[in-house]
Amino acid sequence: MARRRNQERLRCVSCYVGTSPAAEPVPAALGEPGVRLRVAALREDHARLWAATPPVMPNLGPPAGWLRHLSNERAARRLVDWLADEVESLPDGEPERRAWRERVRERLQAFGEERLSWPAGYRRLLFADEFLAASVAFAREARACAPELPMESLGQALRNVWIGNSLQMRLGLPVTLGPALFAYSMLYPLTDNLLDDPALDGRVKRAFNGRFGRRLAGLAVRASGANEAAVFDLVRRIEAEYPRDAFPDVHESLLAIHAGQVRSLGQQDDPRLGDREILEISFEKGGSSVLADLYLVAGAAGPDDARFAFGYGTFLQLLDDLQDVAADLEAGHQTTFTRAARRGVLDEAAARLGSYVDRVLDAEPLGSLEAADRRDLVRRNCRMLLVGAIAEEPRRFSRRFRRALERRWPFSFGAMRRLRRRAERRLQRAAARLAQRAGAPSILDLVLESA
Q: pLDDT digit string (tens) for 291-348?
A: 999 999 999 999 999 999 999 999 999 999 999 999 999 988 899 999 999 999 999 9
Using an 8 Å Cβ cutoff, are 311 and 287 in contact? yes
Res 29: pLDDT: 36
Instruction: Collect all residues with Cβ–Cβ distance below 8 Å to 445 and sequence separation of at least 6.
Output: 143, 435
Q: State the amino acid at position 418 in one-letter form.
A: R
Given a cut of 60, whether residue 110 has pLDDT beyond it is yes
Distance separating the N- and C-terminal Cα atoms of the chain: 49
SS3 for 380? Answer: helix
Q: What is the DSSP letter of 395?
A: G
* HSE value, Cβ hemisphere, 13 Å, CA-based, for 288: 31
Given a cut of 50, whether residue 2 has pLDDT beyond it is no
Given a cut of 60, whether residue 114 has pLDDT beyond it is yes
The verdict on residue 30 lying in a domain is no
The verdict on residue 61 lying in a domain is yes
Q: Rounded mean pLDDT of 5-15?
A: 40
**What integer best gives the mean pLDDT of the chain?**
86
Q: Considering only CA atoms, which of 313, 377, 389 is closest in space to residue 351?
A: 389
The verdict on residue 223 lying in a domain is yes
The C-alpha atoms of residue 267 and residue 278 are separated, in whole angstroms, by 7
Q: Rounded mean pLDDT of 407-414?
A: 97
Given a cut of 80, whether residue 130 has pLDDT beyond it is yes
Instruction: Report the percentage of the chain scoring pLDDT > 70.
Output: 87
The verdict on residue 17 lying in a domain is no
SS3 for 364? Answer: coil
Number of domains making up the chain: 1
The verdict on residue 35 lying in a domain is no
The verdict on residue 15 lying in a domain is no
Which CA distances in Å does 388 have to 111, 381, 420? 19, 10, 10
Res 23: pLDDT: 27
The C-alpha atoms of residue 422 and residue 414 are separated, in whole angstroms, by 12
Among 23-27, 159-163, 215-219, 430-434, the minimum mean pLDDT is found in 23-27
The C-alpha atoms of residue 261 and residue 288 are separated, in whole angstroms, by 10
The C-alpha atoms of residue 60 and residue 408 are separated, in whole angstroms, by 6
Among 83-92, 296-305, 334-343, 355-364, the minimum mean pLDDT is found in 83-92
Using an 8 Å Cβ cutoff, are 164 and 297 in contact? yes
The C-alpha atoms of residue 357 and residue 72 are separated, in whole angstroms, by 26
The verdict on residue 355 lying in a domain is yes
The C-alpha atoms of residue 355 and residue 318 are separated, in whole angstroms, by 12
Q: Other C-beta atoms within 10 Å of 133: how many?
A: 14
Given a cut of 60, whether residue 135 has pLDDT beyond it is yes
Q: What is the span of the domain harbouring residue 320?
A: 40-450
Residues 13-34: tens digit of each pLDDT: 434 444 322 222 223 333 345 8
Q: What is the DSSP letter of 58?
A: P
Instruction: Collect all residues with Cβ–Cβ distance below 8 Å to 364 and sequence separation of at least 6.
Output: 304, 308, 375
Which CA distances in Å does 46 have to 39, 165, 354? 10, 24, 15
Q: Rounded mean pLDDT of 268-282?
A: 86
Instruction: Report the percentage of the chain scoring pLDDT > 90.
Output: 60
The C-alpha atoms of residue 376 and residue 374 are separated, in whole angstroms, by 5
Task: Check which CATH number belongs to the domain holding 158 and give it.
Answer: 1.10.600.10
Res 191: pLDDT: 81
Res 443: pLDDT: 58
Identify which has the larger pLDDT, 19 or 399: 399
Handedness of CA 177, 180, 183, 189 (dihedral sign): negative
Residue 324: φ, ψ to 5°: -95, 15
The C-alpha atoms of residue 309 and residue 355 are separated, in whole angstroms, by 18
Q: What is the pTM of this model?
A: 0.87
Q: Which residues of 212-243 are buried (b: 16+ CB within 10 A; e: fewer)?
A: bbbbbbbbebeeeeeebeebeebbebbbebbe
Q: Which residues of 156-171 are buried (b: 16+ CB within 10 A; e: fewer)?
A: bbbebbebbbbbbbbe
Using an 8 Å Cβ cutoff, are 448 and 437 in contact? no
Given a cut of 90, whether residue 254 has pLDDT beyond it is yes
Q: Which residues of 398-408 are buried (b: 16+ CB within 10 A; e: fewer)?
A: eeebbeebbbe
Length of the chain: 451
The verdict on residue 136 lying in a domain is yes
Res 33: pLDDT: 52
The C-alpha atoms of residue 386 and residue 356 are separated, in whole angstroms, by 12
